[in-house]
Structure formats: C-alpha cells, structure tokens
Structure 1
C-alpha cells in the first residue's frame, strides 16, 4: 500500500492566527510528507508492504513504527481542524465527556495539563476503549493510543515543530488556542 499526503479540507492560511500559513506549509507540507515518504520506502519488501496504517502502528517497531505512527498521528491531527471549528462537541461524544470529566471545561483543563506536562516531544490524545469509555493519554514521540487497544479521537501535537513558529516555547498557549479550530463533527464521528 502506498501512503499519500491527505488532502486538507481547508486552505493553508485558513487556520490563522491559531496555526499560521507558514506552519501549515512546513508542518503539513514538508514534515508530514517526509514521514510518508520515509514510511513508503521503509515498508517496501516487508510484511507491512500492503498493510493499513493502523496495523503497521500496532505491529511494527523502530523506524517503521516511528514513521507510521507520525503519519497516522498527523493525519488525525490535521483532519480534526476547520476554520469554522471551535465550540463544544455534541451528541454521544459530549455525553461521554461529561460523564468522564463532569464538564467540557474540566475535560479541556485536564487535556491541556496533560499536554503541558508531557516532557519532551509527543502527543496528548482523547481516546476511547471498545466500550466507549474515554481516556486522556500522553504518548511520547510517535506514540498513538492504538497500541493500547484504544481508538484515537483527537490528538494534539506537542512536538515543538507544531507550534514554535507561532508560539515559540509557549506550549500552553498553543494547546489552549487549538480548541478554537477543532471540527467537532469530524472528531465526534470517530466516536
């Protein structure tokens, strides 16, 4: 299977000022493309050559895992945004968040605190188990909750390349601003 850069449902400048055009061009256009290119090259002639992305992330290790994980992570990340995003989730996802954290505001606070508290590079995720119970997970480097048997619903990238051009070393500011562009219809459909 050959992986390709996903088509964004918005223009490169559409998420500004939360994420600048320059950050989209570099983070999505160059950084993610490099992971995809590396992954395609690494899986040739291996047991993963015709596997889907989640299977590769669940079963691989080393360079294949790193590039597959980052491809999956970034695909979820970039496709969770909309220039008309923001607000709060609705329906079953909103009910599950309220059940687990008491309110959407409590969930946001814990999610951001998890992302701020992750030392070094990685991801903070909203994920669900097979029964629909929600979790906030912190994953280092290319980690993804699929390796724990969870379904990733929403991931925030806390690698510096995701925010440094726009926020420098202010990771909390970056994480708090991302709520303004979340497409809850897309995220809710994953639930």
Structure 2
C-alpha cells in the first residue's frame, strides 16, 4: 500500500505523460483551420499535371508593332554613299526597335494596340495625357518614311561610288514640277541644306504637297512633330504637373481642345481624326530628311573645322533620294481637257 505522498507523485507523473502525448496533438488539431476557413482556402495544393500538358510549349508572344523589313537596303552594306553598316544599324535597326518597344508597352491592352502608327498619331495628338504615345508613334512613322525614300548609290568594281546627275535620277514629270515651283533643282537642294543647318535641335525637314492643289512646300517639324494637319491641334493650356485631372480648368481645356459638349459647332460629338485644325492646311508628305544626331553623328562626326558633320550628311542624303517613290506619292497626274 502506497503512502499518500507517493500516490500524489504517481498522479503527477501520469498527468505529465498524458499531457506530453495526448494534449499537444489535441491542441494541434484544434488549431487546424476548417476547409471553409480563409487560411485553408489559400493553402497551396499539390496538383499533378496531366501527361499531355507536361511538354506543351507556351504560346509565343508577339509584339504589337515590329521593325519593318527594308527590302531595298542590305543591312550588311548599310546605305552606300550615306550610312555605313554600323550607322544604319544604329539609325534604323536599334532605334526603331527602341521606339516600337516603348510604344508597345504604352498601348498594350488598349484600343490603339491594333492601329497603325499614323492612326495613333492622329488620335493621340490632341490629348496631353497621351503625349508619350504620340511621340513614339510619330518617331517610328517619320523614321520609316525617311528610310523608305532613300536608296544606296551604285558602287563600281573598283569600290568607287557612281554619282548620277539629278536630271537623270528624277522622273521627267516630277522634274518639271519641281523646276516650275522652285525655279531649279539646285534651288530646292540648297533650300533643304540651309533649312536643315538652321535647325537648332533635332527634327525633320519635309517636302509636302498641298492636299487641295499641286503646290509644293518645304516644312520643318522639331523633335517628334508631324506634318499631318489632323495632328496639329496640340494646344495645352493647363500644366498637368500642377493641375490635377479633377480640376475645373482641366475639364474646360479638354472640352475646348476636343470641341465637345453642349453648344459645340459639331453637335456635341467628338471631332474626327481627319479634321483639319483651325488655320491648318491639309498636306501630303512626299519626302523626309531626318536631322536627329543619332542618324549622322556616328559616321560624320560633329562637324568641327568644317569637316563632315550635318552639312556633309545632308549633301550625301540628297544624292541618295529615291525620286521614283517621291513621284508616286505626289500623284502628279492631271486631267487633260479637249480643246
């Protein structure tokens, strides 16, 4: 028969053994969340994929806009007489890939993703919040037109560049029209040269045709500017850095810029993307000269000491113009009248 003190010790030992092997598991069970508990719903489950899905390749992603292929220019040769292979790679391949990557990132998942760059230019020019989209789309469009209207000069077997006079390179109908409006081809060449050299900053020099007549003019756009009249309405009377989108001034400026709302002269509807801005003239771009430094600086240098530089680049560009493309864009055909 055990003494009272020993009975108490045995009870304590039994309680300790019971708590060590029975209580903790029960406590662990009480802490386990039920299947409907949020913690259980978020718990990852091991799922074994079906055999048919183990080796299925992921669908390849495609860019919204890709760098166009220039069939008339060999990247290994560059543009003979104008750009070296390295210069062509920087001005076309690398730069176009850069601007199109930025453009794709900005328009992914929007209605602009399936639009051509010209449509994007016209539809975003009037909205300051889409200025970045406009800039990248306009740069891609302008740079493409610049390269589409140039062609490398012919190189002889001795490695010399064969230069052809302007009168032989320009189609007869276009030659007659240019001579009539600019007095001579040399005058037009000098106009391009002087205009490009006078630009203090990068941009483009254009030869444009009046959409309502046969008048030809030289037009300058800076940075990512565009000659298309539908995109000239870029007034922004509100500084978006200091005025929020909820400001009354912002709303008023937007209504004025888009000509919408009660009492608008277009019936309170959005203006079309082809409407001409106030005071604008509809023009058709025929020829484009890119004066951005990344195009000519690598091959021609800064131009110190009157050697190379932008001047030499523009003079060489004139010799590489594809005048047949210019004539096609000009559409100089005129109706003939019987006498």
Give the TM-score, by structure 1 length. Answer: 0.91
How many residue pairs get aligned? The number is 191
Q: Assess, with a 3 A threshold, how the Cα gap between structure 1 residues 43 and 94 changes in structure 2: closer, same or farther.
A: farther
Name structure 2 gaps, 5 residues minimum. 1-62, 126-130, 155-163, 233-281, 303-308, 331-339
Is 1:10 matched with 2:73? yes
Aligned pairs (5 A) from 1:84-123: 84=153, 87=166, 88-123=169-204
Residue of 264, 282, 285 corresponding to 1:152: 285
Is 1:143 matched with 2:143? no
Residue of 149, 152, 166 corresponding to 2:299: 166
- Distance in 1, matches of 2:112 and 2:78, equals 35
Residue of 134, 139, 142 corresponding to 1:73: 142
Per-residue deviation, residues 26-58 of structure 1 (Å, max 9, x unmatched): 111101111122222222233423322222222
- Distance in 2, matches of 1:93 and 1:159, equals 28
Is 1:184 matched with 2:323? yes
> Where do 4+ consecutive residues of structure 1 move more than 6 Å?
none
Do the aligned partners of 2:150 and 2:322 also contact (CA within 8 Å) in 1? Answer: yes
- Distance in 1, matches of 2:109 and 2:179, equals 47
Name structure 1 gaps, 5 residues minimum. none
Aligned-residue CA RMSD in angstroms? 1.9
Higher Rg of the two aligned structures: 2
Q: Assess, with a 3 A threshold, how the Cα gap between structure 1 residues 51 and 91 changes in structure 2: closer, same or farther.
A: farther
Give the TM-score, by structure 2 length. Answer: 0.53
